[in-house]
Amino acid sequence: MGRDAQKAANIVLEAAHGLGFDLVGIAPLRPPRRAEAFRRWLAAGHHAGMDWLERQSERILDPRRILESEGSILVCGVSHARAPLEIEGGGRIARYAAGRDYHNLVGKKLGKLARRLEALGLAGRGRTIVDAGPLLERSHANEAGLGFESRSANLLHPTFGPWFFLGELLLPIELEPTPTPPAASCGTCSACIDACPTDAIPEAGVIDANRCLSYHTIENRGTIPHELRKKLGEWAFGCDVCSEVCPYGSAAPDTEATFGLHRGAETRLVDWLAPRKNTEVADAEFWNGSPLTRAKREGRARNAALVLGNRPTDEGHKALTRALEGDSPLVRAAAFWGLSNGHRDDRGVREVLERALQREEDSDAAADMRTTLAHFG
C-alpha cells in the first residue's frame, strides 16, 4: 500500500477521533477472519429465531457485496460503561440499554463523518452500519485493532472491557489498515462460562442464543422456554452477567453523562406489564429513543411478568392478577407463570389460575398454562 493510502488513513482516523469516538481503527474490506465460526454458528442453529442473520449471510461473509467494490472498513467504538441499574421495585436491565439508543447516537456520528469525508473529497458515499447491518462487526473490529476476542464472544478492550458499542463506515477507497495492537487474551480465565445462568456458552467464543437471556428478553417474540424462566432471575431486558464477571473493564470511565437515563429505564415493572398510558400510541411515544423499544410492548410485558414471578411483591401480585385478563395471550401465559412461581403460597392463587385456564381461548397460551400448572406444588 502506498503513501496515499497512509495519508488518507490518517485523515480518516483524525476526523473520527475528532467526532469523539473512543476507539477507531481500519481494516480492509474483505471476508471476516471469523467467517468459518459464523458459518458453523448458523449451521448449529445457534441464531435461534434471528432468521435475518441467515438471510444476510452472503453479504456478512463477503462485505464487498455491500459496496459492490473494494475498499476499507473504518471501525469505531463508543464506551457505554456505567454503574449497574436496579429498577425501583425490582428488576434489572442491561447497562447498554439504560440511556438513549446507541444506534441513533453512533449512526448519527458516522453519518456526520461520512459527510465530512465527502466534503474533503476523500470518499464517495460509503455505507454506515450499526449492529443490525450485514457485517460480523466484532471480527472486523478485532482486525482493525479495537480489541481482542474472548471466551464470552465479547470483544474486549484493556480499558473498556466489553463495555463498548461498535459501528462502521464502509468506504470505497484504499486506506492503510491500522496495525493490530499487542495481543491480549482471556488467559486461563473462564469466569463468563462459569457464571452464565443458563449455560449459554457451550464452547469458548460461542453463544447459543437459544439459551441466552439476552436473546430471549430482547429478540424473542414468542414465549420464553419454561426451563429458563427461573434462571431469568431479575433480568427484564438484556443480560450483563458475562460482562459483569469479566475482569476487564471494571475501571472503565462512567458514560452516564453521554447516554443519560431514559425514563423507561426508571419505570417500574408493574408499569411495563400494564402501562399507565394504556394506548399503543402513547406507549410508543413514552419509550421512543430507548433501546427497550426493540422488545416491543408485548415483549416488555412478558419479561416483566416473569421477573415479577421471580421477585414476588404485593404490588406484583396485583399486577399479575390483572394481566391474566389482558389482551395478549403471550402476556397472559407469562402472568400465569409469574403468579404460579412467585405466589403459589398465597391464598386462592390456585383457584385464580384454574379459572384463568378455563376461560383461556388461545390454544398456545392454554398449553403454556397447563405446563405451568403441572409444576404447581
Q: Please report how close the Cβ of residue 242 comes to ligand B12 at its closest, in angstroms.
A: 5
Kindly state whether residue 215 participates in binding ligand B12, applying the rule CB under 6 A. yes
Minimum separation from the CB atom of position 104 to ligand B12 (A): 13
Query: Among residues 81, 85, 105, 155, which is the contact residue for ligand B12, using CB under 6 A?
Result: 155
Q: Are strands 148-149 and 23-28 parallel, antiparallel or unpaired?
A: unpaired
Site string for ligand B12, 68-107 (x = CB under 6 A): --------------------------x-x-----------
Give the chain's end-to-end CA distance (angstroms, integer): 70
Which amino acid type is present at position 171? L
Q: Can you tell me the distance from the alpha carbon of 135 to that of 113, in angstroms, rounded to the nearest whole number? A: 19
Residue 122: CB minimum distance to ligand B12, A: 24
Minimum CB distance to ligand B12 smaller for 148 or for 286: 148
User: How near is the Cβ of 333 to ligand B12 at its closest, in Å?
Assistant: 22
Q: Which is nearer to ligand B12, 244 or 271 (CB)?
A: 244
- Check residue 34 for interaction with ligand B12 (CB under 6 A): yes
**Shortest distance, CB of residue 162 to ligand B12, whole angstroms?**
5
Residue 179 CA to residue 316 CA, distance in Å, equals 54
Q: Would you call 51 a catalytic residue per the annotation?
A: no
CA–CA distance, 205 with 359 (Å, rounded to integer): 46
Strands 164-171 and 72-79, how do they pair? antiparallel
Please state, as a whole number, how many other Cβ atoms lie within 10 Å of the Cβ of residue 30: 16
Q: Is 242 in the site for ligand B12 (CB under 6 A)?
A: yes
> Residue 127, interface with ligand B12 (CB under 6 A)?
no
Chain residue whose CB lies nearest ligand B12: 205
* Helical segments of the chain, H only: 3-18, 35-43, 51-55, 57-61, 64-67, 102-119, 137-143, 191-195, 213-214, 226-229, 241-244, 256-259, 269-273, 280-287, 296-310, 314-323, 329-342, 349-359, 363-374
Q: With H, G, I as helix, E, B as strand and everything else as coil, classify residue 206.
A: strand
Q: Would you count residue 238 as binding ligand B12 (CB under 6 A)?
A: yes
Please give the single-letter amino acid code of residue 288: N
DSSP 181-196: PPP---TT--HHHHH-
Residue 180 CB, nearest approach to ligand B12 (Å) = 13
Q: Which grid cell sits at 158?
A: 484493556
Instruction: Give the 3-state secondary structure of residue 145.
Output: coil
Pick from 22, 137, 271, 368 the residue near ligand B12 by CB under 6 A. 137
| Window 189-208: contact mask with ligand B12 (x via CB under 6 A) | ---------------xxxx-
Among 62, 131, 346, 362, which one carries the catalytic annotation? 131
150, 290, 310, 321: residue in contact with ligand B12 (rule CB under 6 A): 150
Quick note: the x/- pattern for ligand B12 over 288-327, rule CB under 6 A, is: ----------------------------------------
Quick one: 211 or 311, whose CB is closer to ligand B12? 211
What span, in angstroms and rounded, lies between the C-alpha atoms of 66 and 68? 6
Among residues 21, 41, 272, 286, which is the contact residue for ligand B12, using CB under 6 A?
41
Q: Which of residues 160-179 bind ligand B12 (CB under 6 A)?
A: 162, 164-166
Residue 329 is placed in which grid cell? Answer: 395471550
- Burial label, 50 (beta-carbon count in 10 A; 0-12, 13-18, 19+): middle
Q: Which three cell numbers stand for residue 214?
A: 439476552
Asked if 239 interacts with ligand B12 (CB under 6 A), we say yes
Number of residues that bind ligand B12 (CB under 6 A): 43
For ligand B12, the binding residues (CB under 6 A) are 34, 37-38, 41, 50, 53, 94, 96, 130-131, 133, 135-139, 142, 149-155, 162, 164-166, 204-207, 209, 212, 214-215, 218-219, 238-240, 242-243
Q: Which residues are catalytic?
A: 131
